[in-house]
Amino acid sequence: MFIGEEPIHITKNADIAESVIMPGDPLRAKYIAENFLDNAQLVTDLRGMLGYTGEYKGVKVTVMAHGMGMPSASIYVFELIHFFNVKRIIRIGTCGGVNPKCEIGDLVLSKEIYTESNFAYTYNGYVGSVVKTSENLNKIILKTADLLNIKLLYGMTTTTDVFGPYVDFEKIFARIPKSYDILTEEMEAFAVSHIANSMNIEATTIMTVVDSKYSKIVLSPKDRETKLNNMIILGLESLIK
Residue 1 has pLDDT above 70, yes or no: no
Q: What is the pLDDT of residue 240?
A: 95
Q: Which among 146, 168, 211, 223 is annotated as catalytic? A: 211
Q: Would you identify the CATH topology of the domain 19-239?
A: Rossmann fold (3.40.50)
The model's pLDDT over 7-54, given as tens digits with 9 standing for 90+, comes to 999 999 999 999 999 999 999 999 999 999 999 999 999 999 999 999
The model's pLDDT over 133-155, given as tens digits with 9 standing for 90+, comes to 999 999 999 999 999 999 999 99
Q: What is the pLDDT of residue 97?
A: 93
Q: If you average pLDDT over every residue of the chain, what do you get?
A: 94
CB of 21 closer than 8 Å to CB of 92 = yes
The model's pLDDT over 76-106, given as tens digits with 9 standing for 90+, comes to 999 999 999 999 999 999 999 999 999 999 9
Q: What is the pLDDT of residue 190?
A: 98
Q: What is the pLDDT of residue 5?
A: 85
**Separation of first and last alpha carbons in the chain:** 36
Whole-prediction pTM: 0.95
Per the annotation, the verdict on 211 as an active-site residue is: yes
Q: What is the pLDDT of residue 16?
A: 98
Residue 2 has pLDDT above 70, yes or no: no
d(CA 82, CA 9): 12
CB of 239 closer than 8 Å to CB of 19 = yes
Q: What is the pLDDT of residue 98?
A: 93
